[in-house]
Amino acid sequence: MRKTICVHFITRTGVQTTVEARVGNSLMEAATANDIDGVAADCGGLMTCSTCHVFVQDDFASRLAPPDAEELAMLAFTATPQQSNSRLSCQIKLSEALDGITVTLPASQY
């Protein structure tokens, strides 16, 4: 049996939803599997749309590998302006080190 971790999604209005997610899945997969409103994920994780944009809480952002050039290029096309903690949730692979990760959802993905 695969391990699960806790993931917290916070809307721009402050409503928090906590879900259990499988280690090895992407943060985007956790959002879509749990019907998180605010993660559109139109391309299904192919990194061609930037509609899975999230803001990663600072203490967890430092645990992630930096975004590669392709992710940085896609982040330039987000509907809500990019911030220093912006990431595409399709590029965040969940691990035990990310148990409790908290992300805030942008005002809009479009």
Is residue 2 scored above 70 in pLDDT?
no
Hey, which CATH number is domain 4-104, 3.30.70.1170, 3.40.50.300, 3.10.20.30, 3.90.1150.10?
3.10.20.30
Confidence (pTM): 0.95
> Which of 105, 107, 110 minimizes the C-alpha distance to 8?
105
What is the rounded average pLDDT for all residues in the chain?
96
Per-residue model confidence as pLDDT tens digits over 23-69: 999 999 999 999 999 999 999 999 999 999 999 999 999 999 999 99
What residue ranges do the domains of the chain occupy?
A: 4-104
CB atoms within 10 A of CB 58: 10
